[in-house]
Chain A
Amino acid sequence: MAHGHAVKRYSGLMDWLTTVDHKKIGILYLIAGGFFFLVGGLEAILIRIQLWKPLNDFVSADTYNELLTMHGTTMIFLAAMPVIFALMNAIVPLQIGARDVAYPFVNAIGFWTFFFGAVLLNVSWFTGAAPDGGWTAYAPLSSTTFNGDHGFDYYVLGLQIAGIGTLVGGINFLVTIINMRAPGMTFMRMPMFTWSVFITSALILFAFPALTVGLAALMFDRVFDANFFDPSGGGNAVLWEHIFWIFGHPEVYILILPAFGVISEVVSTFSRKRLFGYSSMVFATILIGFLGFMVWAHHMFTTGLGPVANGLFSIATMLIAVPTGIKIFNWLFTLWGGSIKFTTANLFAVGFIPTFVMGGVTGVMLAAAPADFQYHDSYFVVAHFHYVIVGGLVLGLFSGLHYWWPKMFGRVLNEGLGKLTFWTFFIGFHLTFFVQHFLGLMGMPRRIWTYLDGLGFNEMNLISTIGALLMGLGTIFFLLNIVVTAFKPKNAANDPWEDGRTLEWTISSPAPEYNFKQTPLVRGYDAYWKEKMDGHTEMTPAEPLGSIHMPSPSILPLFMSIGLFITGLGLMYSHGEWGKIAGIEAGYVVGGIGLIITFTCMIIRSLVDDHGFHIEPEELQDKGVKA
C-alpha cells in the first residue's frame, strides 16, 4: 500500500484476544493445550486410582465411563492437537524465512474455534452429562436410544466446532509453506519439521471433512431424529465406524508426524551432524501420509468385514512399517559418530526412538488380522496406542518444547529440572504401560470399571498406577520448570544451543513481531549451518531494508467463535428443555442468534478491507537488537 493507516494497537489482555501474530497464537495454543493436557492427565490419574486394586469403588461405574471417554477425547483433540499447533505456529514461519503465515486472521479463527469447541465439550462436566461411550463414540452406544442424556451432544458439537479450527489451520499452513518460503528455500531444502508439518496439514485437509460429515450425521441422528446409524430406522451402525476411522486413522498420523519432525531436528542439532538420509526422510513422511488413508479398517477387523477386506487392510498396515523403519534407522545413523550433547531435548528425543519402536512392533502384531481377534479390546491395545501416542508424540512434544522454548519465550528452560522431568516421566511411562501388554495378553479387557480378585491382574495394575503417578510427578516438574524459568532474566541468545542449523536460530529470541528484518537468502539445506561452515555469522539478506507490512489485530475471530459456541449450546437444548419463545423452541432461537453473530462477523470482515500497518525502516533500526 502506498499510504499508511493508523491502526489501533492493543495492549494487555486485549492484545491477546485480538492478536493475529502467529507467535502469540502459538503461545495461546500452548496455554490452552497445556491446560487441557492437565485436565486429561487428571482424568487419567483418576482412572488409574480406580484400577489400582480389584473391586475398588473410588469412582462409580458411570463416572468411570465418563472419565475414560473424556480422557481419550481431551488428550487427542484438546491437548495433543493444540500443542502441535503451538509448535507449528511458533516455528514453521521462522524455519521457512517468512514474515507471517498466509492468513493471519484465519489463524486466529483457528485458535478461537478450537478453544470454544474445547470449552463446550468440557461444559458437559458441569451440566452433569459428560459423554460416556468411549472417545470413538461408536453407534449405537452414542445414539439417543442408549445415551439419552446430552453427553454425546456435547461431544458432537464441541468437536465439530473445534474441527473447523483445525481444518482452517491446516489450510493456512499448507499455503504458508507452498507460497511463502524465502528465496532459495526450495522444497528439498526445507527443514524436516516443516516437511512434517506440511504433510500433517495435508492429512488434516483430507481427513477432517470425513469427521465433519460423521459428526453432522450423528448430530442429525441425535438432534433431528435422522436414521443414519439407527438400525430401527434402516441405518447402519458399522457405517459410523467406517466414517470415524476414515478420519481417525489419518488423525493418528496427523499426531505423530510432527513428532517425527521434532525428533529429526533435535537429533541432528545435538549430534552436530546433517540429518542422515534427508531425502529418504521426506519420501518416508509422504509415504506414511499416503498409506494413512488406506488402513482405517484395521480398527475394525472383528466387525466381520470378511477375509478379503481383512487381508487387504492387514497388508496395507504392515507396509507402513517400512517407511517408519527408514526413519528409525535414519535417526540412528544421524546419531552414529556424532558429537552428541545430551540436553533435555535430546534426552527426550533419544528416549523416543526405542519407545516408539516398541509401539510400532505391537502395531505390526495388531495388524495381523487373525492375531488381532485375540488382542482386540484388551489392554494390549491400550498399551500399544499409549506407546505410540505418549511414548511417541508426547515425548516428541516435550523434546520440541525444551528445544524451542528459548525461541518462544526468550528464556532457556532449566536443564536440571528438565532432566528430572525426563527421567520421572520416562520411567513412569514405561511402568504404566509396559505391564499393560501382559494384562491384555492375560485377558484383561479395556474400558472396564473394575476387575475381580484372583485373576492375576492385581500386581500389574498396581505397578501401572504407580507409573501413572510418576508421570504426573514428571509433569509437575515440567510446570515447576516453567515457573522457575519465568522468573529468570529474558536473556536467551539468538542461537542458545550454539549448534542451531535452521533459520529460526538466526533471529532474536523471542522473534520480533515481523520475524525477519530482511528476508534471508537460503543457499542450501540447513541454511544457517551452511553459513556457519562458510565462516559467516548471519544470513545474507535477499532484499534491502524496507518498510514491512503487518496485518491489523482483530476481535472478530473471538466473536465468530463465541457465536458458534452459542449455536452449539442452543442446538443441544432444543427438545423442550428451555421452553418456547414465540412458539419456537428456545434452543433453536439461541442457536439462530449464535449463527447471526458468526455470520455478521464474517460479513464485516468481507466488507471492511484490512489495510494493516507498516513498520518503517527507522523503527527497525531502533528495534534491531530488541530481545
Chain B
Amino acid sequence: MSAHSHDGHLPHEPEKATLEGRNKILGFWLFLGAETVLFGTLFSAFLALRDQVLDGPTSQELFQLPLVALATGLLLTSSLTSVFATQALHMHKVKAMIWWLLVTVLLGLGFLGLEIYEFYHYVHEGHGFTTSAFSSSFYTLVGFHGAHVAFGIVWISLLIGQLAKKGLTVTTAPKAYVAGIYWHFIDVVWVFIFTVVYLMGKVG
C-alpha cells in the first residue's frame, strides 16, 4: 500500500491511490461485463416469450406510460445526483458527497415504491407471476432490475454511514466510486427496460 493514508492529506483521485482501490474498480467493471450478459439473457428470454400472454392481459392493455415516464425521470435524476457525489469525492468534500448520496437513495426509494405499486396494480389486473410465460419473464426481468435497485439502496445507505463515521480515506473512496458506477449501470439497464419492455410493448 502506498504512503498516502493516515497523514490527513488525500491524493488526487483517492479511489485509485492504492492497489486495492485500483483492483476494486477494475474488478467491478469486469463484474459489470458479467451483469451485461446477465441482463442480456433475461432480455432475450423476455423477447422470446413476450407474445405468450395466454388468458392474461397484453402489454398494450397493461402498461401505463405516465407511470413509466415518472419512474424513468426519478432514476435518471438519481444517476445525475450520484455523479455529483463522485465529483464531490474528487474534490474531497465529504459533506457534499453524503448529501448527494442521500438524494440518490431517496430518488431510488421513490423509484422502488413506484415499481411496487405498479406490480401490485398489475396483479390486480390479472397479470400474476404464474399467469403466462409473458408475465413470468416480465416479472423476472423487471424484478431482477428492481432487486438491483434495492441492493444499491442498502449498499449506498451503509456507505453513507461509513463516510460519516470514517470520513473520506483511501479505503472508503474506492467503495463510494464503485457504488456510483453500479448506480449508473442500473440506470443504463433501465433505459433498455423502458425502451424494450414498456415502449416497444406499447407499440406492439
| Contacts from A to B (Cβ < 8 Å) | 1-3, 102-103, 167, 171-172, 174-175, 178-180, 205-210, 212-214, 216-217, 220-221, 224-228, 230, 233-236, 239, 243, 246, 549, 603, 606-607, 609
Contacts and interface: CB of A to CB of B under 8 A. Distances in A.
B117 to A, nearest CB: 21
Interface string B24-57: 0011001101110110011001001100111000
Contact of B26 (A179, A217, A246, A606): A179
B19 interface: yes
A209 B26 CA distance: 18
A399 B175 CA distance: 42
Given A1-B5, A234-B49, A208 B34 contact: yes
B23 interface: yes
Interface stretch (B61-69, B73-81, B134-142, B183-191): B134-142
Contact of A209 (B37, B45, B48, B133): B37
A208 B53 CA distance: 29
A606 B27 contact: no
For chain B, what secondary structure do more than half of its interface residues adopt (helix, strand, loop), or is it mixed? helix
Given A167-B34, A603-B158, A234 B140 contact: no
Given A174-B30, A226-B140, A227-B136, A606 B158 contact: yes
17 contacts: A102-B27, A103-B23, A172-B27, A208-B34, A209-B34, A209-B35, A209-B38, A210-B41, A217-B140, A220-B136, A227-B132, A228-B136, A233-B132, A234-B133, A235-B49, A246-B41, A549-B1
Contact of B133 (A171, A224, A228, A603): A228
Contacts of A228: 45, 49, 133, 136-137, 140
A206 B133 contact: no
A102 B18 CA distance: 12
Given A102-B23, A206-B33, A234 B134 contact: yes
Contacts of A233: 52, 54, 130, 132-133, 136
B6 to A, nearest CB: 5
A1 B42 contact: no
B30 A175 contact: yes
Given A209-B38, A213-B41, A228-B49, 10 more contacts: A209-B35, A209-B41, A226-B129, A226-B136, A233-B136, A234-B49, A234-B53, A234-B132, A235-B52, A606-B162
A359 to B, nearest CB: 28
A234 B137 CA distance: 11
Given A234-B133, A607-B158, A205 B33 contact: yes
Nearest to A225: B130
B171 interface: yes
B133 A213 contact: no
Given A178-B26, A235-B49, A236-B49, A227 B1 contact: no
Contacts of A209: 34-35, 37-38, 41
A243 B49 contact: no
Interface string B137-176: 1001000000000000000001000100010000100010
Given A205-B33, A209-B34, A171 B41 contact: no
A5 to B, nearest CB: 13
A174 B30 CA distance: 8
Contacts of B93: none
Given A179-B19, A227-B130, A171 B49 contact: no
